[in-house]
Chain A
Amino acid sequence: MNAIGALGRNVLSLLGSAGAMVLFGLSGVSHLLRPPFYGRLFLRSFIDFAYFSLPVVALTAIFSGMVIALQSYTGFSRYGATSAIANIVLISVVRELAPVLAGLMVAGRVGAAMAAELGTMRVTDQIDALRTLSTDPMKYLVAPRLLAGLLALPLLVLVADVLGVGGGFLIATAKLGFEPHTYITNTVAFLNTADVVLSVVKAAVFGIIVSLMGCYYGYNSRGGAQGVGAATTSAVVSASILILAFDYVLTELFFSR
């Protein structure tokens, strides 16, 4: 009975947390629609999200494209189907690897930083101080970060799409003996608008998830340095799991027919 009780408590706690996160997110979004707007803070978050994450996302994308080219060549050469490699690299990178890996990288970089910053503000009374200065913390701290996540990750992922395919091209032509013109022609021929749209849609959803988790756990952190550390860990872990879960859901929605 104790085990069942504990399971029930955990499920209820999980549902409660999920509900609180949704309400928190809706509150943040509602502040995006009502003035005052903090353009300067949005810009700062956007630059942090997009510009400063570019190196890590770019490297991840390039190496992923390179690995996919190598692995698919190893597998497909057994069946004499190496001509499909350009297509495999394109689909793998654009549909899956670029949005998912960019999301995970940004969750580790930006989501963790958001949770740590807001958590520190919470435990040092800076969030309370905002309220005493006639400023709604949800509007000032959360809304600009949600918008930055929504807009910045799609841009990053478009860059990652190009660089990932470029990484595959590099290996295919420099190591595997593909003719550059043919590889590019095959890639362009296989390029599908729906794949790019899916990539961007996934990126927008993952961007919101990263911002929401970072803000939610940071904003609600308690208990000093240990609480801030726990909030940061929770933000990264939750964002990573949700990114993978929503990746499946979105893929199912787009390609289940």
Chain B
Amino acid sequence: MTETPQAGTPKIRIRGLRKAFGAKQVLDGIDLDVAAGTSMVVIGGSGSGKSVLLKCILGLVEPDSGTIEIDGQDLACLDQPARQALRAQIGMLFQNSALFDSLPVWENVAFGLLAQHQVSRAQARTRAAEMLGQVGLGPDVGGLYPAELSGGMQKRVGLARAIAGGGRILLFDEPTTGLDPIMGAIIDGLIADCVRRLGSTALAITHDMASAARIGDRAAMLFGGRLVWQGEAAQLLDSGNPMVDQFTHGRRDGPIQMELRG
């Protein structure tokens, strides 16, 4: 059973999250709150554990310890149906879109609705066309297969699929990776529009500073398995934190030393 969240309870609340793969401690005590209706952007270098953080929230990776709460409910303490119901609120845009290439676009978009038997196939197709419209794609795109789409169009379809379930919580994994700057800006604009229009709570991970500024209300930086800074997204380029400054300005020298294997 899901309970009504109390006022002031963060939509997503993470405490003491740890995850190691073998000897490598990827997440080492993450504490993070994402307030309802806001967008949080987590920045960090490649291999810093950003994707693992999202996968822990989605239940794709089991954390070693720590808690993840949605609407004040600890996912680990819920039975399977309740956990499933809470996670059904989450829409996810994967880094490479992860569209099902054996299915046409409309079925990709309406997959969640069909899987939960909420609608008939005819209704799902109509709903998919609506969702595609919200990300700037015509209904004719629904009949194409993912392999027939450009990278930017695949991202749009991925976004349509993410918001098709209602979009109460949206997670974005490197939403602009592999796109040219203009298309990246367009996708960011669509994400910001969707989040605002749907009143979603969003958590995005990226190492694209322009993207972070466009999507986020707040931002945090992940380094060494910990969040080393949190603040307003607008402060990212002038945070006063040497690690964030080195990262956002792309300086080679600074407190962050990249691990290079010789």
Contacts and interface: CB of A to CB of B under 8 A. Distances in A.
Contact of B100 (A36, A129, A131, A134): A129
Contacts, number: 46
A128 B88 contact: no
Contacts of B84: 134
B90 A132 contact: yes
B10 to A, nearest CB: 21
Contact of B95 (A117, A125, A130): A125
A182 interface: no
B88 A36 contact: no
B98 A126 contact: yes
Interface string B156-198: 0000010001000000000000000000000000000000000
Contact of A132 (B87, B96, B100, B102): B87
A132 B58 contact: yes
Given A36-B117, A128-B60, A133 B98 contact: no
Interface string A11-27: 00000000000000000
B151 interface: no
Contacts of B37: none
A129 B87 contact: no
Nearest to B84: A134
A131 B57 CA distance: 12
Contact of A133 (B59, B102, B115): B115
B125 to A, nearest CB: 15
Contact of B88 (A124, A125, A134): A134
A83 interface: no
A199 to B, nearest CB: 33
A44 B101 CA distance: 15
B58 A131 contact: yes
Secondary structure at the B interface, as helix, strand, loop or mixed, is: loop
Interface in B96-137: 96, 98-102, 111-112, 115-117
B192 to A, nearest CB: 21
A71 interface: no
B79 to A, nearest CB: 15
B98 A124 contact: yes
Given A36-B117, A128-B55, A133 B112 contact: yes
B115 A125 contact: no
A129 B115 contact: no
A139 B76 CA distance: 23
A74 interface: no
B43 interface: no
Secondary structure at the A interface, as helix, strand, loop or mixed, is: helix
Among A124, A129, A131, A135, chain B packs the most CB atoms within 10 A around the CB of A129
- Taking residues whose C-beta sits less than 8 angstroms from the other chain, chain B's interface range is 20 to 34
Contacts of B60: 128, 131-132
Interface string A101-129: 00000000000000001000100111011
A134 B98 contact: no
B92 A126 contact: no
Contacts of A133: 111-112, 115, 161, 165
B94 interface: yes
A36 B99 CA distance: 22
A130 B94 CA distance: 12
A125 B111 contact: no
Contacts of A121: 100
B58 to A, nearest CB: 6
Contacts of A131: 58-60
A133 B91 CA distance: 8
A128 B95 CA distance: 12
Contacts of A129: 92, 94, 98-100
Contacts of B87: 132, 134
B98 A135 contact: no
Contact of B115 (A117, A124, A126, A135): A135
B116 A134 contact: yes
Nearest to A38: B115
Contacts of B112: 133-134
A135 B115 CA distance: 6
7 contacts: A126-B98, A126-B100, A126-B101, A128-B58, A128-B94, A133-B165, A134-B115
Closest 4 CB pairs of A and B: A125-B98, A129-B98, A133-B112, A135-B115
Given A126-B98, A134-B115, 12 more contacts: A125-B95, A125-B98, A126-B100, A126-B101, A128-B55, A128-B58, A129-B98, A130-B100, A134-B88, A134-B112, A134-B116, A135-B111
